[in-house]
């Protein structure tokens, strides 16, 4: 009996998902645990997992299609079995040939083919008034639309889909190279030059992630009264502590490789230690009340394709440095491999964003609702510093920025938190007590 794969609800606010890429095609054998497709939600791009063994019999949505939650995406079953009939497919009634059609459709000889199915040779295609030849080309509706916009002759394109079907990805990028490869011609690529530019005039569809990022940031800046604090700290002890900790971890490691601790791990640990000392920082604005959170659920920014995600370390205030570092690395890996679950991206009480690794000295982040504040971390830079004895010497400094919701955090409270955090980072040995 066939199994219908539906669009799952992958986040609390999700109503539709976009099929970004199919990893399996009609006719492929699939097993429990196989990744069928990548689906873009309002928060991230996630993988659609298969839970039945069988054959992929039918695809009901193409790459780029938006599908409502609960609507069918694909059918998995035994080869040759009858397919279910869908009265309201997610977007179009029939998008891809099915295995049943491939098996049952007899191969006609040239004499048996109806007259209208015989292709008419053409050197070019008039896309303003499509010819019958164009209509008979095995191509997706989206591919035909793109071809029309870019004035591409689909007769010269070799499709990568089932049975040579031309899809959107066959028309992406440099179309001239696609045409050249389909005609099996060989040309030497032009070497890059100083005068070459990556700029080009184009428009791209707004992704779900980018759309939600824009909406949330606009909402944050227009509804939350931000104010900003910054403090330059002596970051040299932090760097020395990291080196010492990693040397210790290497010395006690047996045959198992040990992940090194990063500066960001130490900053996350310092935040988790400082926040309980200034509980007003760990609050949210309610309709008629201020909500104080009993644990520190620490979010941190991870750059991914087409945006930013903020995975959350649960109860960070109760974790050791080694455990917290391991949690952070696991969430970073999941973020970049599209494995984050909705629960791992929600429920934060404080957020840390770090652009120091990109050489940014200082910036002010936008608050991540419903948090009361966000910490911005800049790069550790060499600088002349004044010693305790008044002498000038070479050192390193780092600038921290704190963006606060003035409804929840007063200036004195924000300053007290930043001072507490600075003391911990400038004396990192205190973090290990």
Report, as residue numbers or ranges, the catalytic residues. 406
Give Cβ neighbours of residue 136 (< 8 Å, ≥ 6 apart).
117, 119
- With 0-12 CB in 10 A as exposed, 13-18 as middle and 19+ as buried, what is 329? middle
Closest among 10, 15, 11 to 37, alpha carbons compared: 10
CB count in 10 Å sphere of residue 391:
8
Per the rule left: phi > 0, alpha: psi between -120 and 50, beta: everything else, 412 is: alpha
Closest among 247, 242, 296 to 274, alpha carbons compared: 296
What is the distance between the alpha carbons of residues 179 and 152, in angstroms, rounded to a whole number?
Answer: 9
Sign of the dihedral defined by the CA atoms of residues 68, 69, 75, 76, in that order: positive
Q: DSSP string spanning 395-410?
A: EEEEEEEEEEETTT--
What is the distance between the alpha carbons of residues 377 and 385, in angstroms, rounded to a whole number?
Answer: 20
Give Cβ neighbours of residue 20 (< 8 Å, ≥ 6 apart).
37, 38, 39, 40, 45, 63, 64
Mode of pairing for the β-strands spanning 373-377 and 350-354:
parallel
**The residue to which tokens 């015989």 are assigned:** 118
What is the distance between the alpha carbons of residues 63 and 172, in angstroms, rounded to a whole number?
Answer: 13
Q: Are 369 and 283 in contact (CB under 8 A)?
A: no
Q: DSSP string spanning 113-129?
A: S-GGGSPPP-S---SSS
Exposure of 378 in the CB half-sphere (CA atoms within 13 A): 20
Determine the angle formed by the axes of helices 263-274 and 236-252, rounding to 10 degrees. Answer: 110
């Amino acid at each position: 009996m066939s199994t219908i794969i539906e669009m799952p609800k992958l986040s609390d606010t999700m109503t539709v998902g976009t099929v970004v890429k199919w990893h399996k095609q009609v006719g492929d054998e699939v097993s429990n645990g196989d990744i069928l497709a990548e689906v873009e939600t309002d928060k991230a791009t996630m993988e659609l997992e298969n839970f039945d063994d069988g054959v992929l019999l039918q695809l009901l949505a193409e790459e780029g299609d938006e599908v409502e939650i609960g609507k069918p995406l694909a059918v998995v079953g035994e080869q040759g079995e009858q397919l279910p009939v869908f009265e309201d497919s997610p977007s179009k009634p029939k998008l891809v040939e099915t295995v049943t059609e491939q098996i049952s459709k007899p191969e006609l000889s040239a004499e048996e083919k109806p007259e209208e199915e015989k292709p008419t040779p053409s050197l070019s295609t008039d896309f303003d008034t499509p010819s019958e030849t164009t209509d008979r080309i095995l191509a997706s509706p989206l591919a035909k639309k793109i071809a029309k916009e870019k004035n591409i002759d689909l007769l010269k394109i070799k499709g990568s889909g089932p049975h040579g079907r031309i899809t959107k990805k066959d028309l992406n990028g440099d179309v001239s190279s696609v045409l050249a490869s389909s005609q099996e011609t060989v040309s030497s690529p032009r070497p890059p030059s100083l005068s070459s530019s990556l700029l080009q005039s184009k428009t791209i569809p707004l992704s779900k992630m980018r759309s939600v990022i824009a909406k949330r940031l606009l909402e944050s800046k227009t509804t939350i009264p931000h104010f900003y604090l910054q403090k330059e700290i002596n970051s040299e002890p932090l760097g020395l502590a990291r080196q010492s900790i990693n040397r210790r971890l290497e010395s006690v490691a047996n045959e198992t490789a040990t992940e090194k601790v990063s500066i960001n791990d130490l900053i996350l640990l310092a935040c988790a230690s400082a926040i309980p000392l200034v509980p007003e920082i760990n609050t949210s604005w309610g309709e008629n009340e201020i909500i104080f959170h009993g644990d520190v659920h620490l979010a941190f920014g991870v750059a991914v394709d087409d945006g930013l995600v903020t995975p959350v370390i649960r109860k960070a205030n109760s974790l050791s440095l080694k455990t917290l570092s391991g949690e952070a690395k696991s969430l970073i890996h999941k973020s970049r491999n599209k494995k984050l679950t909705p629960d791992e991206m929600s429920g934060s009480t404080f957020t840390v964003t770090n652009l120091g690794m990109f050489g940014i000295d200082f910036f002010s982040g936008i608050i991540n609702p419903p948090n009361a504040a966000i910490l911005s971390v800049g790069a550790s830079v060499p600088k002349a510093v004044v010693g305790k004895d008044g002498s000038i010497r070479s050192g390193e400094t780092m600038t921290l920025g704190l963006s606060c919701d003035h409804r929840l955090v007063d200036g004195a409270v924000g300053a007290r938190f930043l001072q507490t955090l600075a003391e911990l980072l400038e004396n990192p040995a205190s973090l290990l007590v």
